[in-house]
């Protein structure tokens, strides 16, 4: 029995602000895009509660609700949006070939990679319990909610240093917890941290538990339980927010060895473009952006990818 092959002009892999925006633009350009949403339909925003910094929502909105709105808009223009994941992708020859977990084999003229990135977490049960209720992996997204309050940042690299100094402008006090006795951050970032009076370093320490209250669906962080790795002593720090800043992992494994990436796996794109080193393959959103990582910038690059894909197909 011969294998059934579906054909599409434009295959979008991954959803979230980048993927859904790419679908909206591609569908309006009559590319009839096919999208596989991935393991986390809607991306990282579906783990966020309140979103107040996306234009067009003057009263703010919930992350999952916002992604539902994006999806409905893409579907309105007849995007073929499918649950599930692309398990294999070959971009060595045209048309590009993809296999999905539903058994489909797809041939695509262009591919838009919108697979996003995954925040690295500590992996403790209480962290997961309070995720979105006081535990966050994005200071620029959620810092505003902790204005005048005390917070904890966990990490020791540039990301942690940046998050701590950003939060220090908003919060009363920031505790920066690091498992070693010196930061891994660049000297310039270290200098900023050590010269910010309301940042207190908590050295040689790990967060053992996120403390909080839980009444029905109402959850709130009240502090963290920290263990000093040298002395073995425990202490509790009372805070309203916990920011995990130990990095992100770009979800780029599907094209590893096929498109150019930096040393940690973010896909490289041409300047002022979403084009990768492979003609007809575009990358947008957090899988190629390790600098801004915002919903609005992801949506912007999703728009760019669809426009570039449409222009490329028109030129063929």
In this structure, are residues 27 and 78 in contact, taking their beta carbons and an 8 Å threshold?
A: yes
Collapsing DSSP states into helix, strand and coil, what is residue 60? coil
- Establish whether 102 is a catalytic residue: no
Question: Is there a catalytic annotation at residue 303?
Answer: no
Q: Residue ranges of the alpha helices (H) in the chain?
A: 16-28, 63-76, 125-129, 139-142, 158-168, 187-194, 295-315
Judge whether 250 and 265 are in contact, CB under 8 Å: yes
Burial 211-235 (b: 16+ CB within 10 A, else e): bbeeeeeebebebbbbbeeeeeeee
Mark whether 141 is an active-site residue: yes
Cα separation, 154 vs 198, in Å, equals 16
Q: Beta strands 86-90 and 96-100: pairing type?
A: antiparallel
Catalytic residue among 10, 80, 109, 142: 142
Residues 6+ apart with CB under 8 A from 191: none
- From 10, 80, 109, 138, the catalytic residue: 138
Angle (nearest 5°) at CA 78 between 76 and 84: 105
Could you tell me if 87 and 170 are in contact, meaning their C-beta atoms sit under 8 angstroms apart?
no
Catalytic residue among 80, 109, 141, 303: 141
Query: Would you please indicate which residues are annotated as catalytic (active-site) residues?
Result: 138, 141-142
């Amino acid at each position: 029995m011969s294998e059934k092959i579906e054909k599409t002009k434009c295959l979008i892999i991954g959803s979230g602000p980048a993927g859904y925006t790419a679908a909206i633009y591609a569908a309006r350009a009559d590319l009839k895009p096919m999208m596989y949403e991935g393991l986390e339909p809607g991306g990282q925003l579906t783990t966020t509660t309140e979103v107040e910094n996306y234009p067009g929502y003057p009263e703010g909105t919930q992350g999952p609700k916002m992604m539902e709105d994006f999806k409905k808009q893409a579907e309105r223009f007849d995007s073929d949006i499918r649950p599930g994941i692309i398990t294999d992708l070959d971009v060595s020859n045209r048309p590009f070939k993809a296999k999905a977990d539903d058994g489909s084999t797809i041939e695509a003229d262009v591919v838009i990679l919108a697979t996003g990135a995954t925040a690295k977490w500590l992996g403790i049960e209480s962290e997961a319990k309070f995720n979105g209720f006081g535990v966050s992996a994005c200071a620029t997204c959620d810092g505003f909610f902790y204005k005048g309050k005390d917070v904890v940042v966990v990490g020791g690299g540039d990301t942690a240093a940046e998050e701590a100094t950003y939060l220090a402008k908003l919060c009363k006090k920031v505790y920066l917890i690091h498992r070693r006795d010196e930061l891994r951050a660049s000297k310039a970032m270290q200098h900023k941290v050590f010269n910010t009076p309301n940042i207190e370093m908590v050295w040689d320490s790990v967060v053992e538990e996120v403390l909080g209250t839980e009444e029905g669906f109402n959850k709130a962080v009240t502090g963290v339980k920290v263990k000093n790795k040298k002395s073995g002593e425990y202490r509790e720090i009372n805070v309203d927010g916990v920011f995990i800043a130990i990095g992100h992992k770009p979800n780029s494994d599907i094209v590893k060895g096929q498109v150019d990436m930096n040393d940690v796996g973010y896909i490289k794109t041409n300047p002022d473009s979403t084009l990768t080193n492979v003609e007809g393959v575009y990358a947008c959103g957090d899988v190629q952006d390790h600098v801004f990582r915002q919903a609005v910038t992801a949506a912007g690059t999703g728009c760019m990818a669809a426009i570039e894909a449409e222009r490329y197909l028109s030129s063929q």
